[in-house]
Every structure is written in C-alpha cells, then in structure tokens.
C-alpha cells in the first residue's frame, strides 16, 4: 500500500530534494549538495521548516547534522543498522523546543509537571542499557513483522531516549516541528514488545510526515472539513482532517503489526496501555469517516485509503464551468524556479515569495508554465496536442483543467476569461 504511493527510496529522495531545493533558494552560500547527515537531520529540517513557514530566517550555521548529537556512541549496533540515537549531553539544549512542546502537552493532560529529560552518554550504564534494549525491540519487531518495520524504520532518522524518571506518561512521541525525531521512554524500562510497538507507531507518523510534504494528501479546501471526534477519547476532543488521516494510518500500521504478532488471538501478551488490541477497530472507525470525507482529500490519500480499507472515496463532483471556460492570457507567476528530482513525472517548483513557496507539479504542468512565458495559448495547445497525440479540442480541454489547478495554487493568473 505504501509503495503504491511511493517506494521508500523514492520518498526519501524527494524529501531530501525538497529540503535541498529550499536551502538553495533561502540560504545563499549553502553547499551545492547537502550531506545526508545534514539533509536528514531533524535539527536542520526544523530550521528549514521554520523558514518556509515564515517564522525565521535561515542561516547555514543552523544546519546541524545528526552526528553532532549522536557521535560514535549513538549507534544501536556495530553494523550501524537502525536509526541513530542521541548521545551527546548538549542535545538537550538543541532539542529544547521539542521537549518543551511535548512537556506542555503532558502538563495539559496533567501527566507531568514539566518537559521530559533525555538520557545521554553521561548517564553511563543507564544509557548503555537503554541502547541495548532499543536494539532488542528492533530485532523483535523485525522477527515478527519484517516487511512492515523495514518499511517504516528508514523514516526515523534519530531516536532520543527519555529518562523514565522524567517521562511521566510519555511512552513515545514524534514532535511535528522536528521531522525524523522520535522521543522514546527508556527502552530498558519497557518490554521488547512495548518498544517494538512504539517504533511501529512513531515510524508510521514519520512516514506520514514524508508523505505530507511530497504527496497530494489534502485538497485545497481541506480546511473546511468538519472535525473528527474519536469515540474513545474525551467528549471535547476533536481532530482536524490531517491529524485524523495520520491517526488512521498509524492505527492501520499498528493493526498490521498486532496481526503479525498474534495479539488478537492472544499469542502474545502486551501491556495494559498498549494500543495493539484496539488498533484494528479504531482504524475501521477512522477509515469510514475518512471515506465519507473523501472530497477534502487529495489523490494520494485516496490511494492510501484504498490500500488500508479496500475502498476509495467517491471523487468530488467537478463544477461544470470548470471544464467549459476558455482561458485567455494566462500568465505564469514571476520568480519561478524548477527542480527535477529524478522521478519521471514529478517537478518541484519554488516561488520566490516571502516566505518561499514550494509546489510539486507534473512534468506536463511544468512544461505548460514554461511555455506560457513565451508562447500564446493557441500555440501552447498545438504543442500539447502533438505531445499527447490527441486532437486540439481534446488537448484544449485537458489544458483548461491543468490551468485551473495551477490557478488555484497561484502559479498562474488569468486577467480575463471568455465563455
């Protein structure tokens, strides 16, 4: 199901390309090719994300790599397999924002009095024991559900181990502002199945984060979608559409892991707080709500739901005038930069607004934007009729649809239209 949207290697390549492209455009003097240690780093990705959101200016000195917080001690095994682990003492300062965000949520839930504290190499045997237990949890997950865990783990760039004395009720978390980072209560204080479950849970969220920035998960009108109330939560709990989709995806992955581990038939005992026994039922509840909300979801989310539930939402009705209006004098936005990322029909476009805007478009859309800069629309129609091997009227109809989508994104403007 994941591969139907994008295989792991493709998803990683496109995510890295997006961060590289953003850095190139916002940070003059940045390396022409960022090292994987940097482009995969949750710290660097946080800084780039903050700049893309318009909350900060990006400086090359802020692009801190993974090795800066892990060192040689932050490896789970001698082969270097699996995610790296925070080990250096100054990591607590570098991840202070993430720890504060998680701590504030725990305080809101009356589950803690302050932010969690990380275990690092200065904690000696306690850190070494947690590292060993993390390796055992990964080994168990792989022995029970290798296809699933090997599909999710590559999206976890870094694990930060939380001191159990300062974890309160935190079992694991994926701070959204630090993509690739997973906070995990010390594995030495949990059973191996608990650790495996946490890795599946947070790996699912990390994979979803990568889908969210490279794929078409939400429609342009998704912010108008009604909120979802999870029936197992408090009466006042309501989730927006993207959070609901992320939760449905995570529960689907947990349900798959529970099945592979034999949890539903009680072949394996789990902790009282485990989500594995309830995962399948919650996935169905969320999935049905998402199917009913399909008009707010993008094409990749439709593919995701089909893989999870065997059904696709009904496509939204297309307004009649959207296909019959004839566009005149469409003008591409100024300051567009193009980056091809190795995929046959995927082009990344940067729009030099403040803050910078990034868009994924098809090769056809990118070609259309380029042609509109120096050709009349009739000539463009001729070019695409030849490119697609279709009559001019058919090419015109398809271009109207494409221009409509580009107009919604603000990549083209139409000063005038005629019916």
pLDDT digits (tens, 9 = 90+) for 107-151: 676 655 567 888 999 999 999 999 999 999 999 999 999 999 999
- If 0-12 CB within 10 Å is exposed, 13-18 middle and 19+ buried, where does residue 9 land? exposed
- 323 vs 406, higher pLDDT: 406
Report how far residue 49's alpha carbon sits from residue 41's, in angstroms, rounded to the nearest whole number.
Answer: 12
* Residue in the structure block whose two tokens are 């055992």: 136
Tokens of 232: 């197992």
pLDDT beyond 90 at 401: no
**Confidence category of residue 320, pLDDT binned at 50, 70, 90:** very low
At 327, is the pLDDT very low, low, confident or very high (cuts 50, 70, 90)?
Answer: low
Which whole number is the average pLDDT over 237-261? 96
10 CB neighbour count, 10 Å cutoff: 16
Lowest-confidence range among 72-81, 240-249, 390-399?
A: 72-81
pLDDT of residue 322: 47
DSSP structural state of residue 390: -
What does the pLDDT look like over 145-199, one tens digit per residue? 999 999 999 999 999 998 887 766 778 899 999 999 999 988 888 889 999 999 9
Percent of the chain with pLDDT over 90: 62
pLDDT of 418 over the 50 cut? no
SS3 category, 359: strand
* 162-166, 351-355, 361-365: range with highest mean pLDDT: 361-365
Residue 78 has pLDDT above 60, yes or no: no
Tokens of 200: 């599946």
pLDDT score at 64: 92
Identify the band that residue 323 occupies on the pLDDT scale cut at 50, 70 and 90.
very low
pTM here? 0.91
Give me the pLDDT at residue 415, please.
Answer: 62
- DSSP H or E segment with residue 5: helix 2-5
Give yes or no for residue 93 having a pLDDT over 90.
no
Structure confidence at residue 330 (pLDDT) = 79
Residues 6+ apart with CB under 8 A from 222: 241, 242, 296, 297
Grouping H, G, I as helix, E, B as strand and the rest as coil, residue 160 is: strand
**What is residue 74's predicted lDDT score, i.e. its pLDDT?**
79
Q: What is the DSSP letter of 239?
A: B
Q: Where are the beta strands (DSSP E) in 19-74?
A: none
User: Please, which residues bridge with residue 162 across strands?
Assistant: 118, 185
Positive or negative, the Cα torsion across 300, 281, 172, 112?
positive
pLDDT tens-digit map of 5-21: 999 999 999 999 999 99
Q: DSSP letter at 184?
A: E
| Whole-number pLDDT of residue 2 | 92
Q: Which DSSP helix (H) or strand (E) runs through 182?
A: strand 181-185
Residue 229 has pLDDT above 60, yes or no: yes
């Amino acid at each position: 199901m994941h591969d139907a949207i994008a295989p792991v290697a493709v998803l990683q390549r496109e995510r890295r390309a997006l961060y590289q492209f953003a850095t190139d455009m916002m940070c003059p003097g940045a390396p022409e090719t960022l090292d994987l240690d940097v482009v995969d780093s949750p710290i660097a990705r946080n800084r780039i994300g903050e700049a893309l959101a318009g909350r900060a200016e990006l400086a090359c000195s802020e692009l801190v790599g993974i090795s800066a917080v892990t060192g040689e001690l932050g490896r789970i095994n001698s082969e270097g397999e699996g995610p790296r682990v925070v080990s250096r003492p100054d990591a607590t300062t570098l991840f202070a924002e993430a720890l504060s965000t998680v701590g504030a949520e725990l305080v809101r839930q009356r589950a803690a009095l302050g932010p969690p504290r990380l275990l690092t190499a200065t904690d000696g045997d306690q850190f070494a024991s947690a590292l060993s237990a993390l390796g055992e949890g990964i080994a168990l997950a792989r022995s029970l559900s290798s296809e699933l865990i090997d599909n999710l783990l590559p999206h976890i760039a870094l694990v930060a181990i939380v001191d159990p004395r300062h974890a309160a009720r935190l079992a694991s978390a994926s701070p959204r502002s630090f993509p690739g980072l997973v906070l995990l209560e010390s594995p030495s204080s949990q059973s191996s199945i608990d650790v495996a479950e946490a890795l599946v849970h947070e790996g699912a969220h990390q994979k979803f984060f990568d889908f969210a920035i490279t794929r078409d998960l939400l429609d342009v009108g998704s912010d108008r979608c009604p909120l979802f109330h999870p029936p197992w939560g408090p009466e006042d709990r309501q989730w927006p559409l993207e959070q609901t989709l992320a939760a449905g995806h995570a529960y689907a992955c947990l349900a798959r892991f529970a099945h592979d581990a034999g949890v539903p038939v009680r072949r394996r005992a789990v902790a009282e707080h485990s989500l594995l026994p309830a995962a399948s039922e919650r996935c169905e509840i969320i999935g049905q709500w998402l199917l009913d909300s399909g008009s707010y979801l993008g094409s990749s989310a439709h593919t995701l739901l089909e893989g999870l539930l065997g059904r696709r939402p009904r496509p939204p009705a297309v307004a009649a005038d959207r296909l019959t209006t004839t566009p005149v004098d469409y003008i591409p936005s100024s300051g567009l930069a193009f980056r091809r990322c190795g995929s046959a029909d995927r082009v990344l476009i940067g729009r030099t607004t403040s803050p910078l805007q990034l868009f994924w478009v098809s090769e056809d859309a990118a070609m259309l934007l380029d042609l509109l800069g120096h050709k009349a629309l009739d000539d463009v129609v001729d070019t695409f009729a030849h490119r697609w091997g279709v009559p001019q009227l058919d090419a015109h109809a398809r271009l109207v649809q494409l221009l409509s989508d580009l107009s919604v994104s603000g990549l083209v403007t139409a000063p005038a239209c005629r019916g």
